[in-house]
Each structure stands twice: as C-alpha cells, then as structure tokens.
Amino acid sequence: MTSLIEYLHARLKTVVTICFVLLGLIAGSTLLVDSGHAHTWAEQHLPFFWSFFGFGAAAAIIGIAHWLGGSGIQAPTDFYDRPNSTPGEEE
C-alpha cells in the first residue's frame, strides 16, 4: 500500500488531471438524464442540481464533524504524550 501511495504521489499532476476528467464526465452525464419527470422545480430547471446538492451535503457533513470534533469529542493531539493522571487532578 505504501508503494502505491508513493507511486501516485510521484505522479500527482496525472492523478489530479484524471480526477478532473472524471469529475467532468460525471457532471456532464447529468445533462443526459431526462428531467421531464423531475420531482421538484430545482431538479427540472437547474443543470447539475444533484452534483451541487451532493457537494453541499458532503461539505455540511465535514463542517459539522469538524465543529463536533473541536467542541470536545476529539482528543487533544498531545493526549498520549501527557503523563497519566486521574480525572479532576490538576497538573
């Protein structure tokens, strides 16, 4: 697995180009979908609606997870470097 990561990292420009081409193909394929029987106005009239909807949903999930992690769920980065102590005991 490490060798695969090193291989892809050495060819980063090619990997980025392939990802953009795939993104374009996926977004372009939404133009081929029949929107005559769409459920909402947005689906019927906005091109790439589901692409933007999916991106927005993913961004919202990442933002909420980041906020939850910063609000106390995530352990500090030096958690394992600190000496052992019982809860309530000051350092």
What value does the mean pLDDT take over residues 42-50?
85
Residue range(s) defining the domain that contains residue 36: 2-73
78 within some domain: no
Q: Report long-range pairs for 49-54 (Cβ below 8 Å, ≥24 apart).
A: 51/26, 51/27
pLDDT at 91: 53
79 within some domain: no
pLDDT at 87: 62
- Percent of the chain clearing pLDDT 70 (strictly above): 92
pTM of the model: 0.58
pLDDT at 62: 97
What's the Cα-to-Cα distance from 88 to each of 54, 71, 83, 85, rounded to whole Å? 44, 19, 14, 9
82 within some domain: no
55, pLDDT greater than 60:
yes
Mean per-residue pLDDT of the chain: 86
- Report the number of distinct structural domains present in the chain: 1
22 within some domain: yes
